[in-house]
Amino acid sequence: MYDSRFKVQVNNAFSNEFIIYMAEHLEIKGESKEERYANLLPQVEAVLEGEPDQIARMANVAAMLHETFRFWWTGFYRVVDDELVLGPFQGPMACTRIRKGRGVCGTAWAEARTQVVPDVDQFPGHIACSSASRSEIVVPLMREGNVIGVLDIDSERLSTFDATDQKWLERVADLITSPAGD
C-alpha cells in the first residue's frame, strides 16, 4: 500500500484513466531524533512497496536516511560469498570489501548483532574508511536467521548513536529484508 502522501493523481488527457506518480520528495519533519525516525519510517515503507530489487531498495533507503539526518556516511554492505561487499551508499568513497569478523561491519556480521560505537578509536580493529569518522552504528540485515548484509552509518562527531537509533534502524533493516525484497 502506498502512503497517500506519495500519491498524486493526474487525469490523463487521452483517457479517463488516472496515472499514479510517486513524488520524489522526502518529508523531513520532527524536532527530536525519535520524531524524525517516526516520520521517516512510513516513507521508507512506501518507497519499498512493490520494489523487489534489493539494490534499488538499499539505494533509496541510504539516500533517505542520509538526507534526513545529514550523517557523514550512510550505506550498505552485502554478504557476497565470504565477504561484505560495498553496496549503495551516500557520502565519501569507502572500503570495497570487508572480511567476516573484521572492523565494526564484520563484527556485526559475525555476531549477528547491532554494534553501537561511541568512539571508533576505542573499537579494536575499526576500519577507518574515512579519518573524519568518529562514531558509528552497524545493523545487520537478517533474513531467515542469516545475515545478508549490514546497514552502516558513520558520524563525524563522537557518541552520535544511541538506543533510539538502534531501535529505528533495526526496523529499517527489517523493512529492507522483508518479503518484497529479492
Residue 165 near ligand SME by CB under 6 A: no
Residue 134 near ligand SME by CB under 6 A: no
- Long-range contacts, 94-102 (Cβ 8 Å, 24+): 94/129, 94/130, 95/127, 95/129, 98/127, 102/127
Site size for ligand SME (CB under 6 A): 15
Rank residues 124 and 145 by Cβ distance to ligand SME and give the closer one.
124
Q: Give the Cα separation of 16 and 139 in Å (integer).
A: 46
Can you state the angle between helices 54-69 and 33-48, rounded to 10 degrees?
160
Residue 110 near ligand SME by CB under 6 A: no
Residue 152 near ligand SME by CB under 6 A: yes
Residue 129 near ligand SME by CB under 6 A: yes
Q: Give the Cα separation of 106 and 47 in Å (integer).
A: 28
What minimum distance in Å lies between the beta carbon of 63 and ligand SME? 16
- For residue 99, the cross-strand partners are 83
Binding site for ligand SME (CB under 6 A): 73, 94-95, 98, 103-106, 126-127, 129, 133, 136, 152, 154
